[in-house]
Amino acid sequence: MRAYYNDITDTIDKIVIAPDVAGAGNIGHGKSYGAEPKVGLRLGWLGLPGATIDASGTRQHASVRDTFDTTVKFIVKGTF
């Protein structure tokens, strides 16, 4: 199993410049974290020496807090 955490900085997204006018701009900082489990099963007990069944998955969450309107924008909401 591998777990991780990353800080996200200088996120670029659409910002409102004036009523009915939007452009690209830096909206703030955020975070990304998750886990990647891996499992394996050796099949020697079935008479298959050297054979394995492997599986892995990823669970990830990433979000950024918009400094202009203080909302949280989800970049990734992952499931297995």
More confident residue, 62 or 41: 41
Tell me the average pLDDT of the chain. Answer: 84
| Per-residue pLDDT at 53 exceeds 60 | yes
pLDDT grade for 77, boundaries at 50, 70 and 90: low
Number of domains in the chain: 1
Helices (H), the chain: none
Mean pLDDT of 52-73: 84
* Sign (positive or negative) of CA dihedral 68, 72, 73, 75: positive
User: 29 is in which domain, residue-wise?
Assistant: 2-77
Whole-number Å distance between alpha carbons of 80 and 51:
25
More confident residue, 59 or 14: 59
